[in-house]
Structure 1
Amino acid sequence: MAEPLNLLTDIEGVAVGHATDLALGSGVTAIVFDEPAIASGSVLGGAPGGRDTALLDPSMTVQTVDAFVLSGGSAFGLDAAGGVQSGLREIGRGFQVGSVRVPIVPQAILMDLLNGGNKDWGLHSPYREMGYEAFRAAAKGPFALGTIGSGTGATTATFKGGIGSASARTSTGHTVAALIAANALGSATIGEGPHFWAAPFEEGNEFGGLGMPPTFDNRMRLKGRNVTSTTIGVIVTDAVLTKAQAHRLSILAHDGLARAILPAHLPFDGDTIFSTATGAKPLSEPSDFMEICHLATLVTARAVARGVYEATALPNANAQIAWHDKFTSPAK
């Protein structure tokens, strides 16, 4: 068994690709599955944006997806799923409907239109082409974190947001992993200091190894009043799950957002988590699934913190500073 990378691609059969435009201050991330995967998801933020999210309800007919898309661009970014669909259609993937195949590609978007990037793109947004680019870039193994893909334009109340990922293995050998684009209205850090709310769950020094501060400042910190945000992501396991179980997995991942961001799930957040089971390893008893759910919470919290920790500021005037612009980490 390969050494874990602490990334979503620790799940066999999962590829991740990014498309990034630093001048635009935005990007797209595609999560592509080798085989159609049982999928669901849940939305707990008050201002979500998505495409084909209704079919993820456990009562709906289609059980599997071919890919997920995470994108910046707010509602403009919803074009990105079309680009990923094009790539999947090109290779013959999709849900069989008579003589044709329709790639199933749910998408969530985050709000990054006010981060200082150049959004004057003309008549049509660039997101469909960026979606295709992200699909073509999708690969197994290591992938970059921070200011890349759908995390390119992400921000939080205190520091630049970005793409984060983390993985864990259960006592019975199932793998659980998360990929999160941290773009919260609230804060992933405590008060004005360098410590992360997710610190109790940190593995090694994946986001600095600083632990918890001696005192806590729980006052609300917001990136702005009446500004939409949205933290979006994907939680994946290699277990055999039903669609209803995948839905429960997404809810537990939202618990991870609430442990890593204060406050989370606000009226102007659109917090959305997709969930997938690749079905490589059966469950042997009910406690297996409960441990997977437990770890889903932890890897999601860790992924949020890693997204902020790994981010760098955008190359434009008045861009939000990154965590490393203010603090020195023993791990870097």
Structure 2
Amino acid sequence: MEPGARNLITDVPGLRVGNAQDTALRSGVTVLTADAPLTASVAVMGGAPGTRETDLLAPDRTVQAVDALVLAGGSAFGLAAADGVVDGLRAAGRGFAVGPVRVPIVPAAILFDLLNGGDTAWEETPYPALGRAALEAASAAFALGTAGAGTGALTGMLKGGLGSASLMLTNGVTVGALVAANPIGSATTPGERHFWAAPFEIGEEFGGLGPDPRAGLGRSLESRKHTAFAAQAGANTTIAVVATDAALTKPEAHRVALAAHDGIARAVVPAHTPNDGDLVFAVATGARTLSGHGPGLAEIGHAAALCLARAIARAVYEARPEPGDLLPAWRAGNAAG
């Protein structure tokens, strides 16, 4: 397996991603969409998720496909970003047909970035407009790091951000991941130079420094993030989308979403805590037919976990130092970055 041409989730043919952010707000929105509805499911393993319409993605629910997915900052306020996306899709004639009416299906997940130093003294929530702008910006190419839903993200020790990665499987299937990394845990080992995801790095996509050579790591739960602001439920979260061009059913997409959570656990220590809302959406375009349920589906789940681990490290690696940062960017302390 090797990365696709862009090493982005949009290496999955037909997918588009758009970002919109507000530098004063220190927050933003990322939207994933396609020209046709996407089979989708979700798996939640964090203790404090913030979501919209995720119940529709359970394997036994009626709706089989979505028109877009939203990742947003802003905590509960950020869920309103989906309103802007729904409006944009409705204007384009997209949505689930109910008689003469079309209802766009746009599940969303949010992370907490309200205490990162941004201006939150708005009178009217800015997130619907950010959602509409992100939808309108959707394309095959998009920015990583301090962009979109990752604009104000923080990890335990460093700035977080928006990340993505892809893999081309030997059977021709493409798998990709998109993530806004804002966890209570750290994406780097103590010293903040080496990434927990280093064993899965391909080339120098997040610095090429390799694994930390020390043993006995992971025993300290020190967090600069919680010295910057008090720990509280919902104040963290890693939210992600994994995607493939394989033809998957909703139960199969759910299985891929579950498998992809291994990528969070490989890249963040600790992961899936009571104060994180860790969530993975899985989508499939259906362009390629799998021959059976065995190695094909298993390989897609494995690739999704690998892509997600790499995407989390790339999110931190690509984050930009900016005036007023509460936590340092990885690049600020590592000349190799």
Common fold by TM > 0.5: yes
Distance 1:133 1:77 in 2: 14
RMSD: 1.3
Aligned partner of 1:245 among 252, 277, 287: 252
> Which residue number corresponds to residue 137 of structure 1?
137
The corresponding residue for 1:303 is 311
Question: Contact 2:11 / 2:176 at 8 angstroms: preserved in 1?
Answer: yes
Matches within 5 A, 1:221-236: 221-222=222-223, 223-224=225-226, 226-227=231-232, 228-236=235-243
Output one character per residue of 1:129-158: Cα deviation in whole Å (capped at 9) or x when no partner: 100000111112x21100000000000011
Aligned to 1:289: 297
Aligned equivalents of 1:44 and 1:214: distance in 2?
30
Separation in 2, partners of 1:75, 1:40: 21
Between the aligned partners of 2:195 and 2:171, the Cα distance in structure 1 is 30
Residue identity over aligned pairs, in percent, reads 55
Counterpart-to-counterpart distance in 2, 1:3 and 1:163: 18
- Which deviations, in whole Å up to 9, do the C-alpha atoms of 1:213-259 show, x marking residues without a partner? 22043222333253320110100000000100000110111110000
Shift of 1:169: 1.3
Q: How does 1:153-172 map to 2 (within 5 A)?
A: 153-172=152-171
Deviation at 1:314? Answer: 3.9
1:276 maps to a residue whose letter is V
Q: Deviations over 1:35-70 (max 9, x none)?
A: 011100111100000100110111111010000000
Q: Is the 8 A contact 2:200 2:310 kept in 1?
A: yes
Structure 1 distance, partners of 2:322, 2:276, is 22
Amino acid at match of 2:177: A
Equivalent residue runs for 1:1-332 within 5 Å: 4-122=5-123, 124-140=124-140, 142-216=141-215, 217-218=217-218, 219-222=220-223, 223-224=225-226, 226-227=231-232, 228-285=235-292, 286-316=294-324, 318-329=325-336, 332=337
For 2:222, give the aligned amino acid. R
Question: In the aligned structure 2, how far is the partner of 1:14 from the partner of 1:212?
Answer: 32
Contact kept, 8 Å, 1:22 with 1:314, in 2: the verdict is no
- Whether the 8 Å contact between 2:4 and 2:168 is mirrored in structure 1 is no
* CA displacement at 1:3 relative to structure 2: 6.0
The residue identity in structure 1 corresponding to 2:258 is I
- Residue identity opposite 1:159 in structure 2: L
Q: State the TM-score, normalizing by the size of structure 1.
A: 0.96
Kept in 1: contact 2:84–2:129 (CA 8 A): yes
**Unpaired segments of 5 or more residues in structure 1?**
none
Describe the shift of the 1:193–1:131 C-alpha distance in structure 2 as closer, same or farther (beyond 3 A): closer
Q: Give me the TM-score of the superposition, normalised by structure 2.
A: 0.94
4+ long deviations beyond 3 Å: none
Contact conserved, 2:4 with 2:167, CA < 8 A, in 1?
no
Unaligned runs of 5+ in 2: none
